[in-house]
C-alpha cells in the first residue's frame, strides 16, 4: 500500500495536455476566431439601420438569391451523383477504379480559377460541349446554370469522400441478413443500407452546400457576373471592397457567415437525429 502515495498517471500519446491543447487553441484563434471576430466587429460598426439597407438593396438581394439558388441546385445534383459515385467506387471492381478514385480529388487540388476557365471553354457557345447545347436553346455560360455547374464541380468530392468510408465499413452481413429475410434489392438499399449512410451523406451534402455558398474562383469566369442576374454574393463583397466600401463588403460577408452558421446547426441536428440509434 506504500505505492498509493505515487499516483500512476495514464500515458498520453501527445506530450503534455496543456501544451497540446494550448497549441491547438492558439492556432484556432489565429486562423479562425480572430478573422471571424474582426468581421463581426466591422459589421457592428455599421449600425442596424445602415446594415439592413445594405443587405436589402436590390443588387445584394439578387446576389444572395443567385448564390443560394445555384448552391441548392449544385448540392441536389451532388447529393445524387456523389452518392452514386461513392457507391460505384466502393461496391464494384473494374479496371481503372484506382484512377477514377484519384480523379475524385482533382476538384480539391485544382486551383478553382483554372477549373472556372476550363468549364467556361467547354460550355461556351463554341466550346466542345456548348456547341451541342446552344442549338437546343440551352446556354450554360453566363447563366445561373453556369454558376451551379462551377459550384457542383468544386464541391462534389465532399459528398463522395464522406460517404465512401462509411459505405466501405458497412458489414455485408446486414445486406445478407435482409436478403435471407426476403427483402428485394431495392428494399435492402432503402431500408438497410441508406439509413446507415444517411448521417455521413447529410454531413457531406452540408459541407458541399457551405462550400458552394463560398465558392468564388471557379464561378467568376463562367458566370459573366451580370449584376442582378449572375452576380454571386462573394463577388459582390469583393466588388465593394475594390470600391473601398468596407462597410458594404463586411455586411454582405456577415450575411454569408450567418448562412454558414445556421447551416452547421441544422446539419448537426440532422446528423444527431440520423444517429439516434447509436450508443446507449
Contact positions vs other proteins (CB under 8 A): 171, 173-174, 176-184, 187, 191-192, 195-196, 277-280
Nearer to other proteins, 58 or 182 (CB): 182
Give the shortest CB-198-to-other proteins separation in angstroms.
8
Give the shortest CB-54-to-other proteins separation in angstroms.
46
Q: Residue 15 has what DSSP assignment?
A: S
Q: Where are the beta strands (DSSP E) in 50-124?
A: none
Nearer to other proteins, 179 or 229 (CB): 179
**What does the block give as the cell for 262?**
445556421
What is the three-class DSSP state of 92?
A: coil
- The residue to which cell 466502393 is assigned: 90
Which of 123, 197, 198 minimizes the C-alpha distance to 153? Answer: 123
Spatial distance between the Cα atoms of 118 and 107, rounded to a whole number of angstroms: 12
Nearer to other proteins, 108 or 174 (CB): 174
Task: Return the axis-axis angle of helices 48-55 and 246-274, rounded to nearest 10°.
Answer: 80
- The residue to which cell 461513392 is assigned: 86
Nearer to other proteins, 133 or 192 (CB): 192
Nearer to other proteins, 171 or 242 (CB): 171
Give the shortest CB-187-to-other proteins separation in angstroms.
5
Give the shortest CB-105-to-other proteins separation in angstroms.
30
Give the shortest CB-167-to-other proteins separation in angstroms.
15
Angle among Cα 17, 23, 25 to the nearest 5 degrees reads 100
Give the shortest CB-169-to-other proteins separation in angstroms.
12
Give the shortest CB-168-to-other proteins separation in angstroms.
16
Cβ count within 10 A of residue 124: 19
As a whole number of Å, the end-to-end CA separation of the chain is 37
Nearer to other proteins, 162 or 196 (CB): 196
Using the CB atoms, write b or e for 125-157: b if 16+ within 10 Å.
Answer: eebeebeebbeeeeebbbbbbbbbbbbbbbbbb
Spatial distance between the Cα atoms of 102 and 35, rounded to a whole number of angstroms: 33
Nearer to other proteins, 187 or 228 (CB): 187
Amino acid at each position: 500500500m506504500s505505492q498509493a502515495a505515487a499516483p500512476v498517471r495514464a500515458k498520453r500519446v501527445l506530450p503534455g495536455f496543456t501544451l497540446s491543447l494550448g497549441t491547438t487553441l492558439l492556432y484556432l484563434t489565429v486562423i479562425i476566431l480572430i478573422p471571424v471576430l474582426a468581421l463581426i466587429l466591422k459589421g457592428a460598426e455599421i449600425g442596424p439601420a445602415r446594415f439592413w439597407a445594405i443587405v436589402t438593396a436590390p443588387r445584394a438581394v439578387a446576389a444572395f438569391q443567385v448564390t443560394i439558388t445555384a448552391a441548392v441546385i449544385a448540392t441536389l445534383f451532388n447529393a445524387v451523383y456523389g452518392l452514386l459515385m461513392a457507391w460505384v467506387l466502393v461496391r464494384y471492381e473494374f479496371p481503372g477504379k484506382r484512377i477514377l478514385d484519384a480523379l475524385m480529388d482533382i476538384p480539391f487540388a485544382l486551383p478553382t480559377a483554372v477549373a472556372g476557365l476550363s468549364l467556361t471553354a467547354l460550355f461556351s457557345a463554341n466550346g466542345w460541349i456548348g456547341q451541342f447545347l446552344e442549338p437546343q436553346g440551352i446556354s450554360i455560360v453566363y447563366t445561373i446554370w453556369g454558376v451551379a455547374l462551377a459550384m457542383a464541380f468544386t464541391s462534389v468530392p465532399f459528398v463522395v469522400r464522406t460517404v465512401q468510408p462509411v459505405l466501405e465499413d458497412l458489414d455485408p452481413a446486414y445486406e445478407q441478413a435482409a436478403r435471407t429475410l426476403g427483402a428485394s434489392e431495392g428494399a435492402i438499399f432503402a431500408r438497410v443500407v441508406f439509413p446507415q449512410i444517411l448521417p455521413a451523406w447529410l454531413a457531406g451534402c452540408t459541407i458541399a452546400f457551405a462550400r458552394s455558398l463560398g465558392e468564388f474562383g471557379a464561378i467568376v469566369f463562367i458566370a459573366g457576373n451580370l449584376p442582378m442576374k449572375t452576380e454571386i454574393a462573394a463577388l459582390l463583397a469583393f466588388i465593394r471592397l475594390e470600391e473601398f466600401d468596407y462597410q458594404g463588403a463586411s455586411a454582405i460577408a456577415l450575411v454569408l457567415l450567418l448562412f454558414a452558421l445556421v447551416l452547421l446547426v441544422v446539419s448537426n441536428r440532422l446528423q444527431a437525429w440520423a444517429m439516434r440509434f447509436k450508443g446507449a
